[in-house]
Amino acid sequence: MTNHYKTLGVPNYAPVEEIKTAYRKLSKKFHPDVNDGDKFFEERFKEIQSAYEILNNPAKKARLDSFLRGEQADNQYQSSHKSQTDHTHTAKPNSEHKARTPKDILSLCSDIRKRVVKAGRSQINETGLYHSLSELLNDDTINFLLSYGDVKTNKLLMNEVLICCSYIDYNKAEKLIIRLAKIAGSDNQAIILLRNYSKKLKRMNVMFRYRHLVFGAAIIIFVIVVLGISSLFSGSAPSSSAATATSTPQNGDLNNSFSGVNNNVDPTPEEQLNTAKNKLVAAGWEEQNVDNGQLPTCYNFKPKRGEIKNYLEVHVGGGTDVAVKVMNSETGKCVRFVFVNSGTTYKITNIPEGIYYLKLAYGKEWYSKVENGLCVGKFLRNPIYEKGQDLMDFNVQPIEGGVNVPSFELKLDVIASDVSNSFNSQNISEEGFNE
């Protein structure tokens, strides 16, 4: 039975006046009309209405109170007899849950997440993954987690499931996120974070789904431009109609364009590079010789270091230098910004606990300048900017006999004008990288 007191964020057995006050406050906050009809808020609003309907009905409220008192008695029974059983922190004796504690459910979610991350997106059966998580997070499990009240473990569990959600279609992921919102109960901050993650996941999913279409359109445009340029330099004579349309020159000498000789010589690659450098310098950019390590804090970020000894080890191939931004997925803020030269390895250590994605810039010859009091950076030669789609969970994971400190390894390279990396990513603009 669902604990509707938790849904409204009031204590068990709260009086009707307190229940009504909480209902009015929550219904105003989560009403779809004030949240642009967002489905996430709509589902939450329905739960709030359902909880109030039951708690405002004396008979239904009495049945719930009776159930909660019985559950409390069962928990006291378990506590007084735990020396006679091998099960610690079990649910009530007649519980139909196979998991004994929220940590058992967390362990199952962690196992699924590890296998998903190890396999990678291309090897994942999205439908199978969705059904596995959906069965695991059924109504009985959600009610069990709410009644147990282990908020910290519930948050760790939600993090594990959210990582898995980034590997499946958004429509399926949204259903799982709605279930996670139920687990969040009255934790409104967690619900808002889930909603924001849902929106971000939707944007990433749309970009990933139509990436081939965008790439195909880019190729078509490229072909059209090339064919257009080729026709300009094909040497074909203009049609008679075009010649007729040309205006008659005034009296005097004709210019050298009538001689049939092209005096324009294409600049060499070196000349083009020097021209590009001169333009950058004129616009206030300065070339920087950067060693491996942390970039200056003027690059619109505040470096944050955690106390956990974790790391992100970045291996860069011989074809490019790389600038790496470590971005907090919840706040969208950069916590570390490092530069790694080609053919080297750099280890980013002591990353604060949380879930992160990466922004990457590949290229050669790093330039920077100050805009509005902040540094911005770019590569002059062969620049490529990307945003990682995979999430890295740096939250410490509880395991039997201790904790697991997650760390990651990343391999980056540019081969034949293409990017090779060990995770999923999407191209972004130079402005998007510097945000």
Mean pLDDT of 362-388: 83
Q: Which residue has the tokens 């770019």?
A: 378
The answer to pTM > 0.85 is: no
326 pLDDT higher than 70? yes
171 pLDDT higher than 60? yes
The better pLDDT of the pair 144, 244 is held by 144
Across the chain, what does the average pLDDT equal? 75
Q: What is the pLDDT of residue 242?
A: 39
Q: Coil, helix or strand for 425? A: strand
| Confidence label for 205 from pLDDT (cuts 50, 70 and 90) | low
Q: What is the pLDDT of residue 70?
A: 64
Per residue in 7-43, pLDDT (tens digit) is: 888 888 888 889 999 898 888 888 877 777 777 788 8
Q: Are 429 and 384 in contact (CB under 8 A)?
A: no
429 pLDDT higher than 60? yes
Q: What is the pLDDT of residue 382?
A: 79
343 pLDDT higher than 60? yes
The better pLDDT of the pair 204, 178 is held by 178
Highest mean pLDDT among 150-154, 212-216, 268-272: 150-154
Q: Coil, helix or strand for 225? A: helix
Mean pLDDT of 69-98: 44
Highest mean pLDDT among 90-104, 202-216, 269-283, 307-321: 307-321
408 pLDDT higher than 60? yes
**Cα 421 to Cα 35, 358, 362, 368, distances in angstroms:** 39, 12, 11, 25
Per residue in 231-255, pLDDT (tens digit) is: 544 444 444 443 344 445 556 655 5
340 pLDDT higher than 50? yes
Q: What is the pLDDT of residue 348?
A: 92
The better pLDDT of the pair 428, 257 is held by 428
State the DSSP string of 316-381.
Answer: E-TT-EEEEEEEETTT--EEEEEEE-TT-EEEEE-PPSSEEEEEEEEEEEEEEEEETTEEEEEEEE
β-strands 311-316, 392-393 pairing: unpaired
**Cα 114 to Cα 132, 349, 406, distances in angstroms:** 14, 21, 11
Mean pLDDT of 72-86: 47
The better pLDDT of the pair 3, 96 is held by 3
Q: What is the pLDDT of residue 266?
A: 67
Q: What is the pLDDT of residue 298?
A: 63
Q: Are 342 and 297 in contact (CB under 8 A)?
A: no
Average the pLDDT over each of 48-52, 89-93, 348-352 and give the range with the smallest value: 89-93
Per residue in 129-143, pLDDT (tens digit) is: 888 898 889 888 888
